[in-house]
Amino acid sequence: MHELSITQSLVEAVLDRIGERKVTAVNVQVGPLSGVLPDAMRFCFDVASAGTALAGAQLMIDEPPGLARCRSCHDEFGLDDLILLCPCGSADVEVLSGRELMLVSVEVA
């Protein structure tokens, strides 16, 4: 479960920036093409933040949709997984969104 190491890195990054101030919420974006499962990340956040200034904070996950554009037919279409195939049958696609895995903001008390 790589979500645990990703979440531990997230907690460490926040702690490096905020010191010992009490955190009430951490806001992140996790796209469906990032390879990270939001539910697993939520579970890991409680474990990784225990005993820190983030203990008890909410992990708010924004899940932007996956979006791609076909280089053959120029159509834009949604992506729910890593199967990069246009409805026209072409695999020559450009991913426009959905790979996000980023810390957006931190709320402190």
* Listed residue (83, 55, 57) closest to 68, CA to CA: 83
Quickly count helices (H) and strands (E) in the chain.
2, 6
User: Listing from the earlier edge strand, what are the strands of the sheet with 58-62?
Assistant: 58-62, 23-30, 101-108
Is 44 annotated for ligand binding? no
- Is 2 annotated as a binding-site member? yes
86 is in an annotated binding site: yes
* CA-closest candidate to residue 28, choices 52, 13, 19, 94: 13
- Using a 10 angstrom Cβ sphere, with 0-12 exposed, 13-18 middle and 19 or more buried, the burial of residue 20 is exposed
Annotated binding site: 2, 70, 73, 86, 88
Could you list the residues known to form a binding site for Ni(2+), using ranges.
2
Binding residues for Zn(2+): 70, 73, 86, 88
